[in-house]
Amino acid sequence: MTSKFSIPNPLNDTQRRFNELCEMGGGSRGGPARTKVQELLKQSGDVLNIGAERYAANCLKEFSDLNPWHVCFAIGISWGHLAQSLFGKSV
């Protein structure tokens, strides 16, 4: 049974787990339980932050001769494009 709140064609473990929470229900109007979704987002965010911190540190080290603001801006732009392509494909 698919919930109306589920993500079609989930691309990663977080999206698959969100769909599982949707199936379990427990939230308002039949959606997933809010506290469970918040826990999922925190766990996923923690993992992403660890990877992002390492990636940014590596970029700043590798491009140490460049303006660090420019390096951070480039990282942000690339992550924005990645997020857009990931979420664009899942909807």
Residue 91 has pLDDT above 60, yes or no: no
Report the sign of the C-alpha dihedral through residues 69, 71, 75, 77, in that order.
positive
pLDDT tens digits along 15-62:
999 999 999 999 988 889 999 999 999 998 888 888 888 888 999 999
Distance CA 21, CA 16 (A): 9
Q: Which two tokens stand for residue 55?
A: 């990636």
Crossing angle of helices 68-90/34-62, nearest 10°?
Answer: 140
pLDDT tens digits along 4-13:
889 888 988 9
Q: Check: pTM over 0.85? Answer yes or no.
A: no
Where residue 1 falls among pLDDT bands split at 50, 70, 90? low
For residue 3, the surrounding DSSP H or E stretch is none
